Amino acid sequence: MNIVECRGLKKTYRQGRVDVHALDGVDLDVVRGDFMALAGPSGSGKTTLLNLIGGLDHASAGEVVLDGEKLNLLSQAQLAELRLNRIGFVFQAYNLIPVLTAQENVEFILQLQNLPARERRERAMAILDDVGLEGLYGRRPAELSGGQQQRVAVARAIVSEPAIVLADEPTANLDSHTGQGLLELMLEMNEKKEVTFIFSTHDKMVMDYAKRLVILRDGRIAGERGKTE
């Protein structure tokens, strides 16, 4: 069963007087439970595609259906609701809230979902334990290493048990050892909790871990290997 369906997806940016076709007619289906990587050179449209799938940006043409919802039919508030409840994001630059501790960063999502304080605390601590951050609950992002921050970001992405996690170059700022640890962690989440992961990446290690690899070039799908079905 598909969790993501992209049909004829186009995205054109205006850069000065020039139109840049970041995506030029992408058709893509992602099945539930996939562990998929989008690869390709810089400017191939990986991040743009991830942004469109996550409802962070609007397509110039075509449509994205995520977990049964046609994103182009949703309002800003509905998109926010969808991102909150069904999508987890992991960004290249970690993007944690600097004034909150690791635990509070993870709890923040649950707070937005109006979960009771006790449940929030328990779930946040449990997921931080799962990503190997026992005892670091009270540290603020500035007091954590890059790898630890990215683990917090992963914990935040999966704590609410979303249908899909979108990770934009999650290992780009990490050394290979830390990056591998993080991939192992996400793979474990994928296998244990059946969370769908889509990565955009340049990293060969990520591509190796991915069960399915989609290659983008010039805004189009140029190739693919290892379908999960």
Partner 1 sequence: MFFQLAWRNIWRNPKRTLILLTAIVIGVWSMIFLGALMRGISDQMVRNGIANLTGHVQIHLRGYRNDPVVENSILQPGKLEEVLAGALPKEAHWTERVRVYAVASNARHSIGVTLVGIDSAREAQVSFIGSAVTQGDYLQPGKGNGILIGQSLAEKFKTELGKKLVLMALDSKGDNASRAFRISGIFRAELEAIEKQFVFVNLDTARQMLKLKGGISEISILLPEKSATEAVVQSLRKQLPVGDSLEVASWLDLLPFVTAVMELYDGFIFIWFLIIFIAMGFGIVNTILMAVFERVREFGLLKALGMKPVWIVRQVLTESFLLLLVGQVLGCIFGLVSVALLARNGIDLSAFAEGLEYAGMSRMIFPVVLVKDVVMANLVVFILGVLVSLYPAVKAARFTPVEALART
- Residues contributing to the site for partner 1 (CB under 8 A): 51, 54, 56-57, 76-77, 80-85, 87, 89, 91, 95, 97-100, 104, 107-109, 111-112, 156
Token duo for residue 63: 């449509």
Under a CB-based contact definition with an 8 Å cutoff, are residues 163 and 3 in contact? Answer: yes
Give 160 or 201: the residue with its C-beta nearer to partner 1. 160
Min separation Cβ 204 and partner 1, Å? 25
Give 42 or 76: the residue with its C-beta nearer to partner 1. 76
Give 74 or 207: the residue with its C-beta nearer to partner 1. 74
Min separation Cβ 54 and partner 1, Å? 7
SS3 call for 126: helix
Give 107 or 212: the residue with its C-beta nearer to partner 1. 107
Report residue 228: phi and psi, to 5°. -80, -30
Min separation Cβ 170 and partner 1, Å? 14
Amino acid letter, residue 188: E
Under a CB-based contact definition with an 8 Å cutoff, are residues 110 and 123 in contact? Answer: yes
Min separation Cβ 45 and partner 1, Å? 13
Min separation Cβ 152 and partner 1, Å? 13
Give 92 or 171: the residue with its C-beta nearer to partner 1. 92
Q: Are strands 2-15 and 61-66 parallel, antiparallel or unpaired?
A: antiparallel
Residue written as token pair 């799938």: 53
Report residue 29: phi and psi, to 5°. -115, 140
Could you give the C-alpha distances from 163 to 4, 30, 156, 202, 220, in angstroms and in order? Answer: 10, 12, 14, 24, 25
Min separation Cβ 55 and partner 1, Å? 9
Under a CB-based contact definition with an 8 Å cutoff, are residues 84 and 112 in contact? Answer: yes
Give 11 or 212: the residue with its C-beta nearer to partner 1. 11
Under a CB-based contact definition with an 8 Å cutoff, are residues 184 and 9 in contact? Answer: no
